[in-house]
Amino acid sequence: MSNILGNFLRLTSYGESHGHSIGGILDNFPANIPIDLDFIQDQLEKRRPGASSIATSRKESDRIQILSGVFEGKSTGASIAFMVENQDARSKDYNEMEKLFRPNHADYGTWAKYGIRDHRGGGRSSARTTISLVVAGAFARLFLKEVTKMEFLAYVKSVGDIRDPGDYENGDYPELEKQAYTNDVRMISEEHAALSRRKIEQSRSAGDSVGGRIQLLVKNVPAGLGNPVFLKYDAYLAFAMMNIPAVRYVSMGNGIQAPEENGSSFNDIFEVMDGKPRTRTNHSGGVQGGITNGMPITMEIGFKPVPTIMKEQPTIDTSLEPGVIKGKGRHDPCVVPRAVPIVANTAAFVTADFYLMNRLARKD
Amino acid sequence: MSNILGNFLRLTSYGESHGHSIGGILDNFPANIPIDLDFIQDQLEKRRPGASSIATSRKESDRIQILSGVFEGKSTGASIAFMVENQDARSKDYNEMEKLFRPNHADYGTWAKYGIRDHRGGGRSSARTTISLVVAGAFARLFLKEVTKMEFLAYVKSVGDIRDPGDYENGDYPELEKQAYTNDVRMISEEHAALSRRKIEQSRSAGDSVGGRIQLLVKNVPAGLGNPVFLKYDAYLAFAMMNIPAVRYVSMGNGIQAPEENGSSFNDIFEVMDGKPRTRTNHSGGVQGGITNGMPITMEIGFKPVPTIMKEQPTIDTSLEPGVIKGKGRHDPCVVPRAVPIVANTAAFVTADFYLMNRLARKD
Amino acid sequence: MSNILGNFLRLTSYGESHGHSIGGILDNFPANIPIDLDFIQDQLEKRRPGASSIATSRKESDRIQILSGVFEGKSTGASIAFMVENQDARSKDYNEMEKLFRPNHADYGTWAKYGIRDHRGGGRSSARTTISLVVAGAFARLFLKEVTKMEFLAYVKSVGDIRDPGDYENGDYPELEKQAYTNDVRMISEEHAALSRRKIEQSRSAGDSVGGRIQLLVKNVPAGLGNPVFLKYDAYLAFAMMNIPAVRYVSMGNGIQAPEENGSSFNDIFEVMDGKPRTRTNHSGGVQGGITNGMPITMEIGFKPVPTIMKEQPTIDTSLEPGVIKGKGRHDPCVVPRAVPIVANTAAFVTADFYLMNRLARKD
Amino acid sequence: MSNILGNFLRLTSYGESHGHSIGGILDNFPANIPIDLDFIQDQLEKRRPGASSIATSRKESDRIQILSGVFEGKSTGASIAFMVENQDARSKDYNEMEKLFRPNHADYGTWAKYGIRDHRGGGRSSARTTISLVVAGAFARLFLKEVTKMEFLAYVKSVGDIRDPGDYENGDYPELEKQAYTNDVRMISEEHAALSRRKIEQSRSAGDSVGGRIQLLVKNVPAGLGNPVFLKYDAYLAFAMMNIPAVRYVSMGNGIQAPEENGSSFNDIFEVMDGKPRTRTNHSGGVQGGITNGMPITMEIGFKPVPTIMKEQPTIDTSLEPGVIKGKGRHDPCVVPRAVPIVANTAAFVTADFYLMNRLARKD
């Protein structure tokens, strides 16, 4: 349903870029989970603008406020409402957008749909709405930490044509995450991070933008999450990721290669190691037939270049008259570094949802 | 929710490969729509096994039965139940699968989740469950035909490394569909269809399988379908497609290229033609910020090679003992030809869902 | 949502009185529950027409068919589809109803809503659709039997002004149920059952009908089912019951008396007995603030007299012309005896739904 | 689902009595509806505590704040978040309730369910959570005012055994509402309002409380709202009302009398007046077979006496030890006067939900 993510664990979100705040309500979050606000705030810091020279200069403190559902540091089982106030909104940067449609944005579609539009900062279509994903996902991680050993890692795999060649699926995720956050690009290979940073700065200097890819890895996911038909784990994860602004494709495991493979080369052969089933390879990315098999979840997510650029571009307006538009707001020249915590936390949210769903699957 | 597709228009599905039947219930289908059963049956024929030498030899007549919701040839607004009986199920082909886990199937995940499994023909995880998608999508098309001019086209874009180089976005979709169905591969370019057919036959001879890609095109979609956050048109379309067995990636428009592009090259510039907004290019695939912009919807869907192959493969069983498995059932060496009507009808279902949803968006 | 009952355990229903069949799909039913088809069939027998001289003479064998989700006698976790075929439909009895609106039926509302109507036997609005409630509720009872000690009892409390004065809340429910089913009226007091039977026969002779009340009792419900806001146990139970045809009011515990009571007289005082909390009285009917407290659930459900009577009644038709209508189909002169198994099984369904929901409420 | 009201128009609520605020998110509210904040605030005033000597002395200004979804005075189609801050929470009044279970409250059930409880002021189970119902319902009325002529009236029908004998179904609802709000009791008959007020004051003096009934009337509801099975208009209205704290029964039309009536006396005969269908009587309360028939909606809602009284009552605590409890917080001795705007606005919310749902029922 609109504005809702999740089936059992469920986030209902609200907020516009230049409105009062961004937030949401989290339903069916289990009771008695310790709520570490510092952890949630830290996740917000990771996506916060203004932290780096290669990101938008909009300054937001992005402080999380919990409005309900937490009592003496623990969840109570009641719906959890949260809110992050908007502070540094410069709506006048967007005055000319009141009527002009920016290319590759939701402006025209929104106007066609509703006949009214809060144009300031992109309104409801702003990437600032991902705050609610980060917060809800951080809550999900607090729950999963209590009851499982799952680990979530996201990092930038490529910026433009610069690609980190590393394979980190079997690495130490907390260490790798630390490593990725040592640079502005959120890439693990320092060498490629430096190249990527240069690419982003060149784009910015040229008044242009550039795309990129994020790799998601999840470890210690129990086998059995997901459903055989219509609510496959990977399908819902794809849905969640495709709702993140600028995402244009999602690929499970080695999905991009899959169409050119044969069964004999692509199949992941089961074996037993240390008394537990595993597969020799993990082309499937941890999900087979929509259900997790206990191997790490691996997903590649492709982002388009930010459409708002500092070059003049022709366009049209609400009267269908031609016009010219040139970016004035504060925008990221490359969206992937700030999308890293969004991807990781969104994956946690989806996984917690499936984890809870499985409590209905068995007799006891 | 599990077994459910759609938010306003809604399909609840049921059925296993070797059970009584495959079917579903369609909710919120508008009243007074003429129900052309021949059209629905024809869509089923298009995915039916046994129609070609490069598909499984399982023989199913796949006759649609409507159990409710249709009166004197028209929908009544009541829930529409439909059923397609299973006939040619050879469960004994699957006896050894009772305990062995096939690679890249849901077998192990299902067992881990439920502790019980209808192993015959893959049970609930069989691709035969896509019958309900085809039927529900065909209903959706009957509705859309009554009230819009939308056209849906799916075709095979590649088989292994053989790729149809044509760009058919602005073509005559009904003609192109006819052309695709003149060959077993469902490819538009006859030359590449012949090459693909040879590739599939080689795979079959080698006891192996091969992957492929399907291109989806939808024309005359009104601008304004979809939502800015969490129920984006493309995100839900991706969800629907990722629920189709063997799909490993989905990409909107030129999504696969997007991460290596710049904003200035990737942006689709708005202009007015014949008094209507359009974009010069359509890299976005008809969806921007999650909302349709009136341009054709274009999506590329990547399928893995069928995991069941006629070669011996090592695996394990429910006691975690090693075993060897070799395909015995009747299986398609390449899944994409039969997936073509599934993709087209699933897209129709999703689009009808968003079309109905938009009736809530405005005052009147 | 329309045609759906339940939030976690979920029934999607279909079927019209004179269509192919009545049935539904049950989602999220836990795996590995033994499915005793005889029990389900027995519940259907209890509501079956043609079993008594005071019920409709329509003859239906009402055989349950399971189409999916059950394998070797146990649930698999897949969606469970079921179907009961319609056999003795005499549509010609309803010919004049094609245009005339019967009083106190959905005829006019349906026509106003959809502009089309399957008038035969009331179409989708027939009480025959309660078959799906009985079956889904019987499944729910099979689940609850496996994992709890809950017991469900429904019986006729009154027919017209004849009221069974007994208080059976603390009785032996299986014995009381047997007792109620020894008479056609489904009343526990034999004396009042005889009086009620006479009243129903008098109504029938006079070509008229009569209303009545059903009492629902549920024992051994754990404390803690239900939610504090919007999904209260009693609110959803009321919703489920109000969906049963002819129900006009629902009252929890001593609800009918509540408005004229004082807090000091109506409050149920907590005490501990045998180491467990209980209340001295149970005016609340086992639910306080929307959440069960471990005491028996008690609800009174009021049914109107069947609107179809064998007397001429003026009415209007689809052209708004006046007409005269007189019952011709086969109808029950009093609906409550056949509603007894519907109420009991519907309560089981709702309770199982809340029982499963509670698996999400806690950390583990 | 928990914390959610509505199917198409949808409210997700949050908040505890002594938490930061009470509020919610409204989804699928149509765009371009003028949002009259004064109207919404006025509805809140009508339920606000501290306005009368017969209500709790808790002082709350209850100012509505809109956080999203409204732009330049109109709805945008985005989710609408709203918030009412808590100000005068005296948590120390509730210290002894930390462990003791109040009779006829959710205290014990909540503790049994979650194992944790925000006891302050009843936490999530406080009647203060009805603020979200009033606000969401007020939004619904703003929408319905724009597109229909519906009128909503609720008033106190009885306090204890004092019953307003008037029949106001065909009266001037806005005038009748004004009349009801001229007295603290919200009763239309001045004479009975005075008697009721005396009754409430006597209860308060005795440290006791008293129950009552509210009558709901809705005029100009179009025929055709509601569904034949499982989402009947009256069933969902009953669900919504039963979620209001202290409600113990709901009765459609003359439902309470229905079980003792005959078909010939209870049926509402259709006729045509001024070219429109109507019924001579309205025993059905405007809903037949779950679908509105264009007659006024009439529902009677029965409330129990407030369980918190100023007398000592025995109870038990979380260690199952006996204790004694005596009300200390500020409580209404009779809940019905303040429930009047809750009932009226909740009915508006449910009706708007069904009104929107009907946009899917027809072809165009």
**Is the pLDDT assigned to residue B355 strictly greater than 80?**
yes
Which regions of C72-150 does DSSP assign to beta strands (E)? 74-75, 80-85
Helices A37-47 and A130-147 pack at an angle, to 10 degrees, of 140
Q: How far is A67 from chain C (nearest CA, A)?
A: 16
Across the interface, do A235 and B224 touch by the CB < 8 Å criterion?
Answer: no
The answer to whether residue D1 neighbours chain A at the CB level (below 8 Å) is yes
CB atoms within 10 A of CB A148: 14
Chain A 186-215, residues with CB within 8 Å of chain B CB atoms:
203, 208-213
State the amino acid at position C186 in one-letter form: R
Chain D 258-297, residues with CB within 8 Å of chain C CB atoms:
258-264, 266-272, 275, 277, 279, 283-284, 287-294
- Containing D205, the helix (H) or strand (E) segment is helix D190-205
CB D303 within 8 A of CB D212: yes
pLDDT level of residue B329 (50, 70, 90 thresholds): low
Q: Of D285, D233, D280, nearest to D254 (Cα)?
A: D285
Across the interface, do D20 and A67 touch by the CB < 8 Å criterion?
Answer: yes
CB D328 within 8 A of CB D112: no
pLDDT at C59: 73
> How crowded is the C-beta side of B21, counted as CA atoms within 13 Å?
23
pLDDT in tens, A109-144: 999 999 999 988 889 999 999 999 999 999 999 999
A-C contacts at Cβ under 8 angstroms: 42
Q: How far is B238 from chain A (nearest CA, A)?
A: 6
Across the interface, do C249 and D256 touch by the CB < 8 Å criterion?
Answer: yes
Across the interface, do D76 and A114 touch by the CB < 8 Å criterion?
Answer: yes
- Give the pLDDT mean for B223-243: 97
**Is the pLDDT assigned to residue B25 strictly greater than 70?**
yes
Q: Which residue of C has its CA nearest to D249?
A: C251
Q: How far is B297 from chain A (nearest CA, A)?
A: 13
Q: For chain B, give the mean pLDDT.
A: 94
Q: Who's near A216: CB < 8 A, 6+ residues apart?
A: A152, A153, A154, A241, A297, A298, A299, A300, A301, A343, A344, A347
Query: Strand C10-15 vs strand C4-5: parallel, antiparallel, or unpaired?
Result: antiparallel
pLDDT at A48: 85
Bridge partners, D325 (sequence order):
D313
The answer to whether residue B32 neighbours chain C at the CB level (below 8 Å) is yes
**Is the pLDDT assigned to residue D16 strictly greater than 90?**
yes
pLDDT level of residue A61 (50, 70, 90 thresholds): confident
Q: Of D218, D266, D214, D221, nearest to D245 (Cα)?
A: D214
Bridge partners, C271 (sequence order):
C278
pLDDT in tens, B112-147: 999 999 988 889 999 999 999 999 999 999 999 999
**Is the pLDDT assigned to residue D58 strictly greater than 90?**
no
CB A151 within 8 A of CB A219: yes
Q: Look-up: residue for tokens 């937030």?
A: A23
The least confident of A131-145, A342-356, B44-58, D305-319 is B44-58
Tell me the helix, strand and coil percentages in chain D, rounded to 5. Answer: 35, 25, 45
CB C79 within 8 A of CB B26: no
Share of residues in chain C with pLDDT > 70 (%): 95
pLDDT level of residue A174 (50, 70, 90 thresholds): very high
CB atoms within 10 A of CB D141: 23
* The dihedral sign for the CA sequence A319, A320, A326, A329: positive
Q: Which residue of D has its CA nearest to A79?
A: D14
- Give the span between the Cα atoms of C357 and C13, in whole angstroms: 21
Indicate the residue of A1, A249, A279 with minimum beta-carbon distance to B251: A249
State the amino acid at position D28 in one-letter form: N
- Give the span between the Cα atoms of D175 and C90, in whole angstroms: 52
pLDDT level of residue C95 (50, 70, 90 thresholds): confident
Across the interface, do C360 and A356 touch by the CB < 8 Å criterion?
Answer: yes
Share of residues in chain A with pLDDT > 90 (%): 87
Q: Which residue of A has its CA nearest to D125?
A: A78
Indicate the residue of B4, B14, B76 with minimum beta-carbon distance to C118: B76
State the amino acid at position C246 in one-letter form: A
Question: What one-character-per-residue DSSP string does A61-89 give?
Answer: ---EEE-SSEETTEE-SS-EEEEEE----
Share of residues in chain A with pLDDT > 70 (%): 95
- Give the pLDDT mean for A17-29: 96
Q: When comparing pLDDT for C61 and B170, which is higher?
A: B170
**Is the pLDDT assigned to residue B330 strictly greater than 80?**
no
**DSSP state, residue A271:** E
CB B214 within 8 A of CB B303: yes
Give the 3-state secondary structure of residue C79.
Answer: coil
pLDDT level of residue B67 (50, 70, 90 thresholds): very high
- Give the span between the Cα atoms of B67 and C132, in whole angstroms: 14
pTM above threshold 0.90: yes
pLDDT level of residue B332 (50, 70, 90 thresholds): confident
The least confident of B174-178, C7-11, C117-121 is C117-121
Q: Which residues in chain B have Cβ-Cβ distances shorter than 8 Å to A324?
A: none
The answer to whether residue A4 neighbours chain C at the CB level (below 8 Å) is no
ipTM of the shown complex: 0.96
pLDDT at C98: 84
pLDDT in tens, C170-220: 999 999 999 999 999 999 999 999 999 999 999 999 999 999 999 999 999
Indicate the residue of C27, C68, C78 with minimum beta-carbon distance to B1: C27
Domains of chain D, CATH where assigned: 4-360 (3.60.150.10)
Q: Which residues in chain D have Cβ-Cβ distances shorter than 8 Å to C112?
A: 222-224, 291, 293-294
Query: Strand B70-71 vs strand B4-5: parallel, antiparallel, or unpaired?
Result: unpaired
Q: Which residues in chain A have Cβ-Cβ distances shorter than 8 Å to B104?
A: 263, 266-268, 283-284, 288-289
- Give the span between the Cα atoms of A173 and A179, in whole angstroms: 10
The answer to whether residue A360 neighbours chain D at the CB level (below 8 Å) is no
pLDDT in tens, D165-207: 999 999 999 999 999 999 999 999 999 999 999 999 999 999 9
- Containing A144, the helix (H) or strand (E) segment is helix A130-147
- Give the pLDDT mean for A254-265: 96
pLDDT level of residue C51 (50, 70, 90 thresholds): low
CA C281 to chain centre: 26
Bridge partners, B64 (sequence order):
B84
Bridge partners, D315 (sequence order):
D323
- Give the span between the Cα atoms of D84 and D97, in whole angstroms: 25
pLDDT in tens, A205-237: 999 999 999 999 999 999 999 999 999 999 999
- Give the span between the Cα atoms of B306 and B99, in whole angstroms: 20
Across the interface, do B315 and A270 touch by the CB < 8 Å criterion?
Answer: yes
**Is the pLDDT assigned to residue D328 strictly greater than 90?**
no
pLDDT at D213: 98
Label each residue of chain B as H, E or C.
CCCEECCCCEEEEEECCCCCEEEEEEECCCCCCECCHHHHHHHHHHHCCCCCCCCCCCCCCCCEEECCCEECCEECCCCEEEEEECCCCCHHHHHHHHCECCCCCCHHHHHHHHCCCCCHHHHHHCHHHHHHHHHHHHHHHHHHHHHCCCEEEEEEEEECCEECCCCCCCCCHHHHHHHHCCCCCCCCCHHHHHHHHHHHHHHHHCCCCECEEEEEEEECCCCCCCCCCCCCHHHHHHHHHHCCCCEEEEEECCCCCHHHCEHHHHCCCEEEECCEEEECCCCCCCEECCEECCCCEEEEEEECCCCCCCCCEEEEECCCCEEEECCCCCCCCCCHHHHHHHHHHHHHHHHHHHHHHHHHCCCC
State the amino acid at position A91 in one-letter form: S
**Is the pLDDT assigned to residue C237 strictly greater than 70?**
yes
Question: What one-character-per-residue DSSP string does C269-326 give?
Answer: -EEEETTEEEES--TTTTEETTEE-SSPEEEEEEEPPPS--SS-EEEEBTTS-EEEE-
**Is the pLDDT assigned to residue D330 strictly greater than 80?**
no
CB B107 within 8 A of CB B97: yes
Q: How far is B68 from chain C (nearest CA, A)?
A: 5
CB D214 within 8 A of CB D248: no
Six token digits for residue D277: 């269908």
Across the interface, do C361 and A147 touch by the CB < 8 Å criterion?
Answer: no
* Letter string b/e over residues C171-190, b meaning 16 or more CB atoms within 10 A of that residue's CB: eebeebbebbeebbbbbbbe
Q: Which residue of D has its CA nearest to C364?
A: D114
Across the interface, do A359 and C360 touch by the CB < 8 Å criterion?
Answer: yes
pLDDT level of residue D329 (50, 70, 90 thresholds): low
Q: For chain D, give the mean pLDDT.
A: 94
- Give the span between the Cα atoms of C121 and C53, in whole angstroms: 20
**Is the pLDDT assigned to residue A57 strictly greater than 80?**
no
Q: When comparing pLDDT for B57 and D125, which is higher?
A: D125
- Containing C141, the helix (H) or strand (E) segment is helix C130-147
Across the interface, do C67 and B78 touch by the CB < 8 Å criterion?
Answer: no
Q: How far is D3 from chain A (nearest CA, A)?
A: 7
Six token digits for residue C86: 């319609």
The answer to whether residue D231 neighbours chain C at the CB level (below 8 Å) is yes
Q: Look-up: residue for tokens 């009230």?
A: B147
- Give the pLDDT mean for C122-142: 95
CB D196 within 8 A of CB D184: no
Q: Who's near A31: CB < 8 A, 6+ residues apart?
A: A74, A75, A76, A77, C361, C362, C363, D113, D114, D115, D116
Q: Hey, which of B254-263, C98-107, C115-124 has the most confident mean pLDDT? A: B254-263
- Containing A305, the helix (H) or strand (E) segment is none
CB atoms within 10 A of CB A278: 17
Six token digits for residue C12: 């999607």
- Give the pLDDT mean for B349-358: 97
Q: Of C34, C35, C32, nearest to C77 (Cα)?
A: C32
Q: Of B15, B257, B31, nearest to B143 (Cα)?
A: B31
The answer to whether residue B147 neighbours chain A at the CB level (below 8 Å) is no
Bridge partners, D82 (sequence order):
D24, D66
- Give the span between the Cα atoms of C359 and C317, in whole angstroms: 51
